[in-house]
Amino acid sequence: MTAEDLGLKTATELVSMTTSGEVGSRELLDHYLERVERLNGDINAIITFDVERAKASAATADEAQADGAQLGPLHGLPISVKDAIATEGIRTTGGATELSDHVPTADAPVVASVKNAGAVVFGKSNLPRWSGDTQAFNDIFGTTNNPWDLTRIPGGSSGGASAAVAAGLTSFELGTDIGGSVRLPSHFAGVCGHKPSFGVVPQLGYVDHETVSQYGGIIEADVNVFGPLARSVDDLELVFDVVAGPTHDRATGWKLDLPTARHTEPGQLRVAAWVDDPICPVADDVGALLEATVAALADAGASVDSSARPGVPLDEVWNTGLPLISAATTPARTAEEFARQVADSDDASLDPTARMRASASAIRHRDWLLLNERRQEHRLRWAEFFRHHDVLLCPVSASTAFPHQHDGNLYSRQITINGATRPYADLIAWTSFIGYVHLPSTVVPVGLTPDGLPVGIQVVAPFLEDRTGLAVARLLEQLLGGYQIPPMAQLGSRTV
Name the residues annotated as catalytic. Answer: 82, 157, 181
Give the integer Cα–Cα distance in Å for 206 and 217.
Answer: 5
How far apart CA 465 and CA 197 sit, in angstroms, is 8
HEC letters along the chain: CCHHHHHHCCHHHHHHHHHHCCCCHHHHHHHHHHHHHHHHHHHCCEEEECHHHHHHHHHHHHHHHHCCCCCCCCCCCEEEEECCECECCECCCCCCHHHCCCCCCCCCHHHHHHHHCCCEEEEEECCCHHHCCCCCEECCCEECCECCECCECCCCCCHHHHHHHHCCCCCCEEEEECCCCCHHHHHHHCCEEEECCCCCCCCCCECCCCCHHHHCCCCCCCCCEEEEEECCHHHHHHHHHHHCCCCCCCCCCCCCCCCCCCCCCHHHCEEEECCCCCCCCCCHHHHHHHHHHHHHHHHCCCEEECCCCCCCCCCHHHHHHHHHHHHHCHHHCCHHHHHHHHHHCCCCCCCHHHHHHHHHHCCCHHHHHHHHHHHHHHHHHHHHHCCCCCEEEEECCCCCCCECCCCCCCCCCEEEECCEEEEHHHHHHHHHHHHCCCCCEEEEEEEECCCCCEEEEEEECCCCCHHHHHHHHHHHHHHHCCCCCCHHHCHHHCCC
